[in-house]
Structure formats: C-alpha cells, structure tokens
A and B are shown apart, each in its own frame.
Chain A
C-alpha cells in the first residue's frame, strides 16, 4: 500500500503541510517495499485554480491509497472518493510523528461530512 503525506520540507522531520492542494511536497511511503520517495507538487501548488484537483489526480495516477493531510476540499474529495483514496486528518506535527500516529492506528479516515475547504 502507498501512503502520501503533505509536507513543506524534504525530510521526515519537516512539518506536515495542512493544505492538501497547495502543499509543496508529498512524502510517499510504500509499505510493501519500504521505499520512501518525495513528490514535488510545485506545478499544482502554483496553479491559478484547481490545485486540489490536480494534486488529487496526480496521487490517483500514482496508485496512492491513503493521504495524511490537514483536510481536503470538496473538489479534491470527489477525485479521492472516485479513486478510493482514504484521507486521514492530521492537525500538525512532523511527517515522522504523523507516520507514527498512522502506524499506531490513532488516525481516523475523514468522512463526507468532514470535508472542508482548505
């Protein structure tokens, strides 16, 4: 399974970016292989509009199955739903801490009612 975490920096100690669509990077963790890669999201982040849509599309095409981020807007949500990608809401902290919480099962997937504009 592939997991993506929105982040402002390039290493695991960097803070989680609470914005989904306009995050600078995603750290992508592949649980099968243990590989961790960095996805540069600059193109979507600088888009005049629809940043969330472009970001969600990129993750869907990469085969990501779960995202850790602050929250997502309804436009991105529509894609994430269609691609069956679960979203886990994080309220701050570093990428490493978020990953730890996820592994320990402390995070809950967002539901339709919780989708917000970010």
Chain B
C-alpha cells in the first residue's frame, strides 16, 4: 500500500528539474535572488559587527575595524567575563527576567476575558467601549509618567522603584493592544461552537476556559511574544520606575553607552547579552507570532 502511494507520488510529483525552474515549477528570478542577498547582508552586517567586536580585546577594538579581525586577530572572551564581573549587566539580567515574565502573562489573563466579552456577548455600549480601546492604543505612554510617578512615588503608594510598579504599568499599557489583538482573533472563531456549549448548559466562565482559550492559543502566543519583547526591550518605564539596584539589562546597557573611557570595551558584549533572550524567544515562537498577528488583525 505504502509502496504504491510512494511510487505514485514519485512519478506525479517530480518532473525532471529544468534549468531556471525551482522545485515547485516557478521561474527562478535572478533579480530577486541578487537583491535579496544584498538586503540580507546589509540587514545582518551591523549585528555581525557587534558580535565580532564583542569578541575582540580593548586594543583591537580601538585600533582596527572588526572586519579585519580575520587577519588582524585580537580575539578574546575577556569582555564577556568583564561584563559579568565589572558591570551591572549580569545582575540586571536577572531583574529583566523578573520584570518581564509576570508583566507578560498577567495582562493576558485580564485582556482575554474582555476580548471574550467583546467577541461573544451583546451589551449596551459595546461599540463605544471598543472604540475607546482603539483610541487608547494610540495615546502616547508619556502622558502617564508624571501622574503615575506621583501616584506610585513617595507621596502616593511609595512603591516606585519596586518591581510591582513596573508590573502594574506594563500590565496597564499592554492592555489595549492585548484586548484588540485577542478580540480580532476570537471574532474569527466559529460561533457554532459557542452556541453548542451554551445548549449544553456551560456558563460563560466555563466556555471561556474550556473552548475559547485552547482555540485562541496562536493569538495568545502572538501577543505574549509582542508583550515580552516590549517589556524586555523597554527603556523608559524601567529607567523611571526602578532603582539602580533592580534596573533592567536595557537600562544598564544605556548607562554603558553613555560612559566614556574605562569599560567601553564591554559595551558590545553587554549589548549582545541583552539581545540574547528576546532573540531566542522570537525565533522559537516566530511561527505563532506571524500567524497570530496576521489572522484577523489585517485584511488585505
């Protein structure tokens, strides 16, 4: 049986490769190949430069370009050791993790319920309230700094400088986009499933957990990646609402960028370390990201 289908597949699927045609039979485009190759090199070169520079000694960095490293040498791992011993980047790496994980997951909990209500329930003011979401998505977060610093600061709750303030702010700022993305996705789900759950006597709370959440995984993952990148890479909120003891890796890196003289050789290594986690997250979950972002969110 399997032999038969295999043989059939072989004969029908693979016409002999002709020059200038790709495996799927489309015409190979030389222009596309060349232009894309150039663009890829252009897009990657700056990052490669950072990586190579981070692996070179202080003198080598200062005297010759990184592209000469192949013949000029100067390779060393010293900078990475230095970053962890001589700068605050090592400590702040942990802070970044502690800030980013709760600030990524908690908003999803709240937003998913709201998105469910907007997708599957009828109520007065639904349109107006959702338009409010569209509006606050555009509002610059700068509006929040002074009032929130007053509210969370020593004259208010006194929690400015602690993780909780940052978790709270990221949860609030991430909420509109979360509701918007999740609702766009949920409204593409088949309504018949919800209807049948209802007939079975399931409450909204049960329908939400048993049906909607499992079906919305791509959108949940897409938002989680977006929010994680945003929180990890954020400079402003971390800089203003955390202290030097618990600042994030991005704030430490910014401090390093401003420094002159001693320690500048650690900058490339520090920058590379700060990029590592978001890159891993991004590339392992890329699939979800693209699917969740493009489903329902955009219409051609």
Q: Do A and B come from one complex?
A: no
